[in-house]
Amino acid sequence: MAARMRKTAPLLALVLLGCAQMGAPPGGPVDDTPPSILSTFPAADSTRVRPPFAATITFSEKMDKRSVEKTLRVFPTPGRIRTDWEKTTLLIEADFFDRSDAMPKGPITILVSGRAEDRRGNKIREPYSFSFTSAESLPRGSVSGAIEGLSKSAKAPPATVRAILPAEGDSTPARILLESEASREGAFRLRPLPVGDGGPRLVLAFQDETEDGAIDFERELYGYSDSFALTPEHPAADSLRIRLVSADTPGSIEGTVPVDEGTDSLVVAVEAEDDTAAAPSLTEPDSTGAYRVTDLQAGSYRVRLLRGSIERMRLEGPDSATSVLSERSLVLRPGEAVEEFRLPEEAPEPQVTH
């Protein structure tokens, strides 16, 4: 969330007591040392925090204020946020820091983006987040992993990372549980997360080129993790892998077909339902019944197991097949690799003879 800068009344001396402040001395060698965060108030993982208060972040040196404020995020999103500076300390005021009846029941997380710079343009080593709560304890859930396929452009933003409770049909929309940011290498961690309530969760990652907090599916790289659950017995999900894709990243389908009568004259045809002019993808399964079709753009497909000559189908189309043995439909997302797509969907039951 971009912070709206407003010069407020003098900083609260009580809030700043105990917060370390250190500025880089004038003169000397060229400063190429990345800035770091020395302390925060409330301290990371604080519990039973009571308003009124203002959060503070003390950096190791004077910062480029705009680079810090523009990408500062507070989660849950407050109705308002104000910032001010006292040398190397950033003061953050939000509406739910003022009154007990406005404090969220769950944790509050503040994120300093990896795009934050000191006054000489040195970026902070990695994004930094800290959480605190008015409750007796913080939730125990956490997820971590790595993102693949990040843009190599020097101007590309770090990946925004969100833990999501997916939508349930049309009645319950998707809900963001927590938002953070990946390192430049793609490593990420999201904590604290609720444990044991709701259903399976996902992690969404995207590079927000437009810096508007929303995914532009036509222009920006994005990706999802596999679903996972956080339980009291297993509150952490580690080693998640997320592959970023774009709208035109091709996907693939692979699976098996029955081999009871051999695979001679068997053909798997994959046809786009929303682009009838596109040539179908045809392939013959190998001797084990395995097949794979690649370079498929996102969309709806009809996947059929046919019997006939693949050479004739390439000339006259799949409808020239002598018979249709199985047919299934599939919606393919950009870059998705669908595995174990069996034709037919269920393996035939063995025939019992007497």
Predicted confidence (pLDDT) per residue in 201-238, tens digit? 999 999 999 888 888 988 999 999 999 999 999 999 99
- Residue with more model confidence, 168 or 127: 127
Is the pLDDT at 280 greater than 90? The verdict is yes
> In this structure, are 26 and 120 located in the same domain?
yes
In a domain, residue 311? The reply is: yes
Beta bridge partners of 303: 270, 328
**Domain assignment of residue 241, given as a range:** 139-247
How many percent of the chain have pLDDT more than 90? Answer: 73
Predicted confidence (pLDDT) per residue in 145-163, tens digit? 999 999 988 889 999 999 9
> In this structure, are 7 and 117 located in the same domain?
yes
Other C-beta atoms closer than 10 Å to the C-beta of 42 total: 18
Residues in Cβ contact with 291 at an 8 Å cutoff, skipping those fewer than 6 apart: 254, 255, 256, 257, 268, 283, 284, 285
Domain at 260, CATH number? 2.60.40.1120
User: In this structure, what are the phi and psi dihedrals at residue 288, rounded to the nearest 5 degrees?
Assistant: -90, -5
> In this structure, are 306 and 218 located in the same domain?
no
- Residue with more model confidence, 198 or 188: 188
Q: For residue 263, what pLDDT is reported?
A: 81
Beta bridge partners of 193: 141
Q: Which of 46-55, 95-104, 186-195 has the lowest mean pLDDT?
A: 95-104
Strands 236-243 and 141-148: parallel
Number of domains in the chain: 3
This prediction has a pTM of 0.74
Report the pLDDT averaged over residues 86-91: 97
Is the pLDDT at 35 greater than 50? The verdict is yes
Per-residue three-class SS string for 224-275: ECCCECCCCCCCEEEEEEEECECCCCCEEEEEECCCCCCCCCEEEEEEECCC
User: Could you give the CA distance from residue 34 to residue 207 in angstroms, rounded to a whole number?
Assistant: 23
Predicted confidence (pLDDT) per residue in 251-266, tens digit? 999 999 998 878 889 9
Q: For residue 91, what pLDDT is reported?
A: 98
CA distances from 11 to 16, 44, 83, 104, 342 (A): 8, 21, 10, 24, 65
Q: For residue 20, what pLDDT is reported?
A: 43
> In this structure, are 235 and 271 located in the same domain?
no
> In this structure, are 276 and 186 located in the same domain?
no
Q: For residue 170, what pLDDT is reported?
A: 64
- Residue with more model confidence, 52 or 3: 52
Question: Which structure tokens are listed for 292?
Answer: 């794979």
Predicted confidence (pLDDT) per residue in 106-120, tens digit? 999 999 999 999 999
Q: For residue 12, what pLDDT is reported?
A: 44
Residues across the chain: 354
Q: For residue 30, what pLDDT is reported?
A: 75
> In this structure, are 169 and 262 located in the same domain?
no
Burial of 30 (0-12, 13-18, 19+ CB in 10 A): exposed
> In this structure, are 256 and 331 located in the same domain?
yes
> In this structure, are 168 and 240 located in the same domain?
yes
Is the pLDDT at 290 greater than 80? The verdict is yes
Q: For residue 8, what pLDDT is reported?
A: 43
> In this structure, are 237 and 169 located in the same domain?
yes
In a domain, residue 343? The reply is: no
Rounded to the nearest integer, the mean pLDDT of the chain is 88
In a domain, residue 352? The reply is: no
In a domain, residue 11? The reply is: yes
Report the pLDDT averaged over residues 3-16: 43
> In this structure, are 130 and 79 located in the same domain?
yes
Strands 337-338 and 251-256: parallel
In a domain, residue 84? The reply is: yes
Q: Which of 18-22, 143-147, 290-294, 340-344 has the lowest mean pLDDT?
A: 18-22
User: In this structure, what are the phi and psi dihedrals at residue 46, rounded to the nearest 5 degrees?
Assistant: -70, 145
Q: Which of 9-23, 137-151, 276-290, 321-335 has the lowest mean pLDDT?
A: 9-23
Report the pLDDT averaged over residues 302-317: 96
> In this structure, are 4 and 76 located in the same domain?
yes
Question: Which structure tokens are listed for 121?
Answer: 């343009």
